[in-house]
Structure 1
Amino acid sequence: MFDDPPVRTTATIEKPLDSNLYHAALPNGKIVIAHLSKALLEAHAVFEAGQQVHLELTPYDFDTARIMGLA
């Protein structure tokens, strides 16, 4: 059904919302809600404001993203 690959980019963590959700700023300045990937969730990863991370976004929704790791 959805065969388009994810959009990959880097972002800066703006602020944590809870243990799994963050506001992240894309390079163009847009703020998205980003959640941890399953691997990071299982590893109990925590990010702080100012950290650069790799994100994946679906090409159908640029308001939410998945954090894949540190940039």
Structure 2
Amino acid sequence: MAKEDHIEMAGTVIDTLPNTMFRVELENGHVVTAHISGRMRKNYIRILTGDKVKVELTPYDLTKGRIIFRDKN
């Protein structure tokens, strides 16, 4: 799947799950389960509850996503 096919949305981490999974509440109110992208994992970027993140969703399953960016604030 090409990168253009993914949907990017902003959200807030509301819960930390095992195996580097997170529950993220999107701006529109939906809650998705997301994991950390490989580039963030490689650079040891830590994500905590309450962090503002950018999530990439696939159009095939809108309940799962990948965290691709953590905002500075």
TM-score of the pair, normalised by structure 2:
0.84
Structure 1 counterpart SS, 2:39 = helix
Amino acid at match of 2:38: K
Matching residue of 2:39: 39
> What are the ranges of 5 or more consecutive residues in structure 2 without an aligned counterpart?
none
Which string of whole-angstrom CA distances, capped at 9 and with x for unpartnered residues, describes residues 20-63 of structure 1?
11000011211110100000111222211111001100011110
Amino acid at match of 1:63: T
Matching residue of 1:66: 66
> What are the ranges of 5 or more consecutive residues in structure 1 without an aligned counterpart?
none
- What RMSD over aligned residues (CA atoms) do the two structures have, in Å? 1.5
d(CA) in 1 for partners of 2:62 and 2:49? 21
d(CA) in 1 for partners of 2:56 and 2:68? 7
Identity of counterpart residues, as a percentage?
Answer: 27
Over 6 Å off, 4+ runs: none
Matching residue of 1:29: 29
In the alignment of these two chains, the number of paired residues is 70
